[in-house]
């Protein structure tokens, strides 16, 4: 997935039905590339197309699934599922030093996510703490 300069993510709760979501906002001038998603043939912004490709079929518990997207005048908004419980790695790291087990769990989640993307023909090239939501209830599991 491509790097972007003007991107921010906010966390929200939708009340009907109650569901936690992440809203990713991308400046439209950064989303000038359009891709026809395999199977649909309709060109959509590349960020949307790539999220559609990794969200289907059946998705993965290691990927935040694309629920909806909106094309506005200056921005593209992506509504993504937000797993519970989770935290972005940047905030997780603010706690200070982490144990080897915590670090191993984070790396394992990243590896499984990257594999899922790769299996669907998507190379994620922007792994960084701000782009990673980690499961904080993993208890060291590596499955």
Residue 99 belongs to domain spanning = 7-135
CATH code, domain carrying 32: 3.30.200.20
Determine, yes or no, domain membership for 143.
no
Which active-site residues does the annotation give?
126
Distance CA 140, CA 108 (A): 9
Helix or strand run (H / E) with residue 104: helix 100-119
Number of domains in the chain: 1
In tens digits, what is the pLDDT along the chain, a chain of 143 residues? 444 444 555 555 555 566 778 888 888 876 668 888 877 778 898 889 988 888 876 667 778 889 999 988 888 899 988 877 777 777 778 888 888 998 898 888 888 888 988 988 888 777 777 777 777 775 545 44
């Amino acid at each position: 997935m491509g790097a972007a300069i003007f991107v921010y993510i906010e966390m929200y709760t939708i009340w009907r039905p109650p569901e936690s979501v992440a809203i990713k906002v991308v400046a439209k001038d950064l989303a000038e590339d359009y891709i026809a998603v395999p199977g649909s043939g309709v060109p959509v912004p590349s960020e949307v197309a790539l999220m559609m490709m990794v969200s289907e079929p059946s998705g993965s518990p290691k990927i935040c699934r694309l629920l909806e997207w909106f094309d506005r005048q200056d921005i593209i908004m992506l509504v993504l599922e937000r797993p519970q419980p989770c935290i972005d790695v940047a905030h997780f790291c603010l706690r200070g030093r982490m144990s080897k087990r915590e670090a191993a769990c984070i790396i394992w989640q990243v590896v499984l996510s990257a594999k899922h993307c790769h299996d669907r023909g998507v190379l994620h090239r922007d792994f960084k703490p701000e782009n990673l939501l980690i499961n904080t209830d993993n208890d060291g599991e590596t499955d």
